[in-house]
Amino acid sequence: MFSKACKYAIRALIYLASRSEEPEKTGLREIAAEIDSPEAFTAKIMQILSKQNLVNSAKGPHGGFFIDTHAPEIKLIDVVKAIDGTQSIYGCGLGLKSCSETEPCPIHHEFSAIRNGLANLLKEQTIQQLARELKAGKSVLKHHLN
């Protein structure tokens, strides 16, 4: 449902939020490794997130990315909007330009319930909540092969 870039963006922000109490900033190479994303692709994603003020960056030898611990919690919907826009959340399940209650596509009624549930999840869930679950060992960002 979300683009690969959006999935990586969410994972990158969760990882950064899980490190928000660490004094050092997180480098691009580390972020890419922790979310299993190519470095060049991760760089583009981080640039978008930075421009949208969802992540902070600092240049120099001690530079990198970080999430301001004093900033408001980041809602998942803000990340999705920054990377994918709103079409994946509010658009037609079949990709029609106009789909409504009065002129529904074949899956409109079933899909609208799913779409509304997803929109509510994205509006309520925050990156920081997911980072706390990650730090508590309740979730993972990548599979570790043994």
CB neighbours of residue 68 within 10 Å: 10
Please list the ranges in the chain whose pLDDT falls under 50.
none
Fold of 4-135: Arc Repressor Mutant, subunit A (1.10.10)
The predicted structure's pLDDT at residue 146: 52
The predicted structure's pLDDT at residue 61: 84
The pLDDT tens digits of the residues spanning 61-81 come to: 888 999 988 889 999 999 999
The predicted structure's pLDDT at residue 118: 93
The pLDDT > 90 percentage for the chain reads 71
Report domain extents, the chain. Answer: 4-135
The predicted structure's pLDDT at residue 60: 85
The predicted structure's pLDDT at residue 95: 87
What secondary structure does DSSP assign to 83-122, as a single string?
HH-SHHHHS-TT--S---SSS--TTHHHHHHHHHHHHHHH
pTM of the model: 0.90
The predicted structure's pLDDT at residue 145: 61
CA dihedral over 28, 142, 41, 48, signed as positive or negative:
negative
Inter-axis angle of helices 39-51 and 4-18, nearest 10: 80
Helix (H) or strand (E) holding 5: helix 4-18
The predicted structure's pLDDT at residue 142: 80
* Those residues with Cβ within 8 angstroms of residue 66's Cβ, 6 or more apart along the chain or in another chain: 16, 19, 20, 25, 26, 55, 56, 57, 58
